[in-house]
Amino acid sequence: MPTLIALRHSKAASPLGTPDIDRPLADRGRRDAKAAGDELRAADLVPDRVVCSTALRTRQTLEELSLDAPADFESRVYDNDVDELLDLLREQPGGAATVLLVGHNPSMHQLVLGLTGAPDDGFPTSATAVIEFDGDWSGLWPGAGRLVSLWTPRG
């Protein structure tokens, strides 16, 4: 049973004059990302593969998670389009039982809602949704997933 871990990047700083793609994590973001990594390890949810946006804040989030998994950095995640995210996930190899996707809102929120039909309670920075589904990655479609857990840094 494939498992998707959908994680919105942690809280980023907004230094004056910094292009969006180059925004770094704020101190709180670093703390929250470390806590998210601790939560994933405690739940024995270390991914087989990671698909991560090319933005600095997502790469730093992944680094702070301290998970040992091969990562692909994809500009299509930074493009922030939920249909592109679904396409990327459908391309994952069958041997990847658990995939971590590190991206941005609104597409991450839309992806979680679309796959699971979960209540729309928001998807703040560092939110981490664990979604299971039957079949394989190529069969990932809206409504196909079950929300197993949802973790946010503030509760």
The pLDDT tens digits for 45-103 are: 999 999 999 999 999 999 999 999 999 999 999 999 999 999 999 999 988 999 999 99
On whether the pTM is more than 0.85, the answer is yes
Q: How far is CA 56 from CA 25, 27, 75, in A?
A: 8, 14, 12
Asked if residue 155 has pLDDT above 80, the reply is no
Domain positions in the chain: 3-151
The whole-angstrom separation of Cα 128 and Cα 36 is: 7
Fold designation for 3-151: Rossmann fold (3.40.50)
Are the CB atoms for 100 and 51 separated by under 8 Å?
yes
- Token digits of residue 137: 């990655």
Sign of CA pseudo-dihedral 98, 101, 107, 108? positive
Query: What residue type is assigned to position 131 of the chain?
Result: I
Percent of the chain with pLDDT over 70: 99
Task: Count Cβ atoms below 10 Å from residue 94 Cβ, excluding itself.
Answer: 9
Q: Which residues contact 31 (CB under 8 A, 6 or more apart)?
A: none
Are the CB atoms for 129 and 107 separated by under 8 Å?
no
